Amino acid sequence: MTEPTEYSFIRYLEAKRTVDDRALNQQVWRRLLGELQVLPRERSLQVMEVGAGIGTMLQRTLEWGFGRDMEYIAADSDPSLLARASERLPSWARGLGWQIEQPHDGKLVLSSPRQRVMLEFVSQDIFEIPERPGGFFDLIIAHAFLDLVELKTALPHLLSLTRPDGLFYFTLVFDGATILRPPVDPDFDSLIEARYHRTIDERIVRGQPSGHSQTGRMLLEALPAKKASILAAGGSDWVVTPPYPADEAYFLHHI
């Protein structure tokens, strides 16, 4: 496992796709699919993903079986990540047999015999997304995101964007455990873990706290407090071991 000579956040996001694929809780995913099937079919699903990055979660919705017409907004505060998403998704989708249209309004339309997806990339911070009375979206997705923001302000805002009968899918939320094996030195390893978690707890973005190392357990308490029902929950651990398939060796180096 040769150490890279340079590091790229975009490459990191691409490398962790296979790690996330394994980690995502399949019981929760199946419950989400079941709930989506009972939503009205006379219109397209309205979906927003915050912290959409380079579009890997959108790929999962197409590969793993949403099976519904969708209008999908991929929002991220970093325009360079969305630019990479718009570059990589068309060729990936064509490889799976999707037809691609790129209208002049900047949207991307993906079509198959069973499904049509209108995709829009929006470069906005989560708090720049305007609230909508009564909500608007059938589904809000936040993948590996909620531990990077202040939960007590981000969660109410996200829930305000959801229809009264809408759904949320909050995945890979960090909850305070990092295990490195084999140990180098137990005391030193514990120190590294504690300092890593402290960087999460003390992160400041634009002068405000942003994230917590125990967001996972906090989320399980915060959702009922906001009158949101938890239909399914489960573990989603990253487990990365030799021989490091795909680009997972780089993923570990980047971490």
- At 168-182, the pLDDT tens digits run 999 999 998 988 889
The reported pLDDT for the residue numbered 156 is 95
Count other C-beta atoms under 10 Å from residue 84's C-beta: 19
Return the SS3 of 6.
coil
Q: What integer is the mean pLDDT of 37-54?
A: 94
Between the alpha carbon of residue 211 and those of residues 136, 149, 173, 208, 254, the distances in Å are 26, 4, 10, 10, 20
Q: What integer is the mean pLDDT of 55-77?
A: 95
- Taking the C-alpha atoms of residue 118 and residue 100, their distance in angstroms, rounded to an integer, is 10
Between the alpha carbon of residue 48 and those of residues 118, 129, 224, 252, the distances in Å are 12, 10, 22, 29
Report if pTM > 0.85: yes
The reported pLDDT for the residue numbered 67 is 86
Q: What integer is the mean pLDDT of 63-77?
A: 93
Residue 252: pLDDT over 90:
yes
Question: Domains of the chain by range and CATH?
Answer: 9-175+214-250 (3.40.50.150), 177-207 (no CATH)
- Please identify which residue in the block is written with the tokens 């400041």: 204
Q: What integer is the mean pLDDT of 239-244?
A: 95
The residues facing 122 across adjacent strands are 75
- At 121-170, the pLDDT tens digits run 999 998 888 876 667 999 999 999 999 999 999 999 999 999 999 999 99
- Taking the C-alpha atoms of residue 186 and residue 179, their distance in angstroms, rounded to an integer, is 11
The reported pLDDT for the residue numbered 255 is 86
Look over the chain and give the mean of its residue pLDDT values, rounded to a whole number.
93
Distinct helix (H) and strand (E) counts, the chain: 9, 9
- Please identify which residue in the block is written with the tokens 């959108």: 58
